[in-house]
Amino acid sequence: MYFNIKEIVLWPRNHSLKPRRVPFESGKINVISGASRTGKSAIIPIIDYCLGAELCSIPVNTIRDNCEWFGVLIDTDQDLKLFARREPGNQRSTGDMFILSGKDIEIPDVIEKGNTSADAVKRFLDEFAGITALDFDFDNTNSGFKGRPSFRDMLAFNFQPQNVVANPNTLLYKADSYEHREKLRNIFPYVLNAVTPEILAKQHELAQLRKELQRKENELRTVQQVSERWIAEIYSRVVEARELGLVKQAISPTASRNELLEILRDLVDTAKPEAHVTLETLDESIHELVRLQNEEQKVSTEISILRKRFAEMSKLKQSTKQFKDALKIQRDRLKVSQWIGKIHEPKCGCPLCGKILDDTTEQIESLRKALEEIEKTAGNIDQVPAAFDREYERVRAEIQVVTEKFEGISIRRKALENSSEEAQRSHYHTMKVSRFLGNLEQSLKTYDRLGEDGDLEREVNNLREKVAQLTNAISEGQIKARTERALRIVTSYAEKLMPLLDTERPYDPITFSISDLTIKVKGLDREDYLWEIGSGSNWLSYHISVTLGFQQYFNELKNPVPSFVVYDQPSQVYFPQQLVVRDKPLNIDPKFQDEDIEAVRKIFVVLASVIKSSKGKSQFIVLDHAPKSIWGDIPEVHLVEEWRGNKKLIPDLWLRKS
């Protein structure tokens, strides 16, 4: 993603002073050369803070004491974008930010207040970079390490501060933090474009389908176990139906399962609990009991219908009352017609311009009358028509009558059952038949669901087919292969650069380990991790070559990683002793040896070769002690500023005026 640093801007606390602006060129190696304690190492924290960092790591005292706002001006394919953030004071950070966008941006002399927040800027940067809104937490574990990628995550490839640029244990920015390291491991295939947003969406869908399939398969297994036991007892079910008088024909011991199932299905469709009772076997009390049972069932159904109707009418009545009360409240609050009547009275002036409203009196009066009619109509709405109230009371009375009738039938049935032993046996038999038919009907439904065309089995088969299709479409193996192929491209770029740098093993193959977020160098007998290889010059060379390899790979893709890299003090490995000498002023540059000069020069030559191959897309910023005499004649190098003597990031004028 074309995203180059155009300027770094600092606003002083003293508003009478102009902002401090440090300009950079796109598609160049921008060098800020200078002595120690001039502010070079504050450049990375300033850029990071203005791009939404969680904490402010800009050095305290001189820089933060004299700056009110920090800003970075970004050049993109669309336009220029200024991101400024307030100095946090005693806080760890502040969310108060200021943003501008446009083809040409005029940097304000003073920022009075912010116009957005850090969270809003981060959301904007995510959208601008085209980062997916999907996360990697397919199983809903709520793990922060599997959250959605963000623009902030991409900056791991853009900064190489002093503590990272030659670190044997950490290759990428903030990868020494457990939280950032775990998040970066999860999103790395996405960064390399091995996992696209489309694949992420399919992975989420696949995870949901697998959960659904597992649930359905468990349900199917449970029901199948029940069904198999029931099928084993199918003959005994038919025999039991015959004993209950529900089946008249004789049952052959050799009858097939389908014949027995057909008998049971016919039985469920046609049989009634009292079907076994005939006039020849009933005495008068039994006949009366059956009649009462049928009548009790009929009255019970009637009560259910009436109660449902009464509940719906009660709800309608209550809703009407609430509507009328709300309408009256609104009418009383507004009283629009009365207000219009006041403002159109003679000699009444316009509330805005003061002009007498004589010319509009007729129109206003017409409007007032129309509104008055509407208000009268709203006030005359009845709760419900009179016919509704009559029907409401009729239904309530009918419920009471039918309920009393049901209670009477129940009393008569119970008395008859108590007085007749035969009636008791008949009632018990009827209940037994009812339970048998209910269980039989449910068992047949279960069996039908488990047949070759059963609904549950069809659902399971459809889910299995969808899971198989998505699994093939996603193919974890293909994702792994694409990831490894992308990493091979990155390391091939790095391997081409290694012979140009100061390293002991320039031609040994390199592999990048996502699990460790570092590289392994393959020798004749073994692979060595970066931390197993000695010498700061080796560590520095691998850092330079690998970060450039990633940038070259990203330039070939439509990728959300910004197209700049900032290197802070890459030459530190060549003169570590001079940096800590106590008897010399700290703002005096260290003395280079000839071999050191050549090693540092190689770094700039390699950076220039990558800049040239990127055709203006990449931008590198180097913050270093190395003077212009080392890199000044290398093409693609642009000297931003030289901070020596009184020339520093924070002007002396600010210190005197603040």
| Residues in Cβ contact with 537 at an 8 Å cutoff, skipping those fewer than 6 apart | 502, 503, 573, 574, 599
Phi then psi for residue 496, to 5 deg, are -70, -25
What pLDDT sits at residue 417? 65
Q: What is the dihedral of CA 52, 57, 61, 65, to 10 degrees?
A: 0
What pLDDT sits at residue 442? 67
Q: Please provide the DSSP assignment of 322-347 as one string.
A: HHHHHHHHHHHHH-HHHHHHHHTSTT
| Residues in Cβ contact with 265 at an 8 Å cutoff, skipping those fewer than 6 apart | 444
- Bridge partners of 86, per DSSP, are 69
What pLDDT sits at residue 133? 83
CA 504 to chain CA centroid, Å, is: 46
Q: Which residue, 19, 183, 36, is CA-closest to 105?
A: 19
Q: Is the distance from CB of 568 to CB of 44 less than 8 angstroms?
A: yes
- Bridge partners of 67, per DSSP, are 12
| Alpha carbon distance 358, 344 (integer Å) | 8
Helix (H) or strand (E) holding 613: helix 594-614
- Start-to-end Cα distance in the chain: 40
What pLDDT sits at residue 50? 97
Instruction: State the Cα angle at 556 between 553 and 558, rounded to 5°.
Output: 110
What pLDDT sits at residue 294? 81
Q: Where are the alpha helices (DSSP H) in 59-129?
A: 62-66, 118-128
Report the predicted TM-score, pTM, of the whole model to 2 decimal places: 0.65
What pLDDT sits at residue 335? 64
Q: In what order do the strands lie in the sheet with 619-624?
A: 159-160, 564-568, 619-624, 29-34, 637-643
What pLDDT sits at residue 213? 86
CATH number for the segment(s) 1-129+572-589+604-658: 3.40.50
pLDDT tens profile 573-592: 886 544 433 344 445 555 55
- The parts of the chain modelled with pLDDT lower than 70 are 138-144, 223-240, 242-245, 247-261, 268-286, 330-364, 368, 371, 374-384, 386, 416-434, 437, 439-440, 442-454, 575-593, 656-658
Q: In what order do the strands lie in the sheet with 527-529?
A: 510-513, 518-522, 527-529
| Alpha carbon distance 192, 482 (integer Å) | 9
| Alpha carbon distance 623, 638 (integer Å) | 12
What pLDDT sits at residue 280? 45
| Alpha carbon distance 35, 646 (integer Å) | 11
Domain boundaries, given as residue ranges, for the chain: 1-129+572-589+604-658, 137-195+475-561, 312-419
Q: Is the distance from CB of 603 to CB of 544 less than 8 angstroms?
A: yes
Pairing status of strand 96-102 against strand 116-117 = antiparallel
What pLDDT sits at residue 27? 93
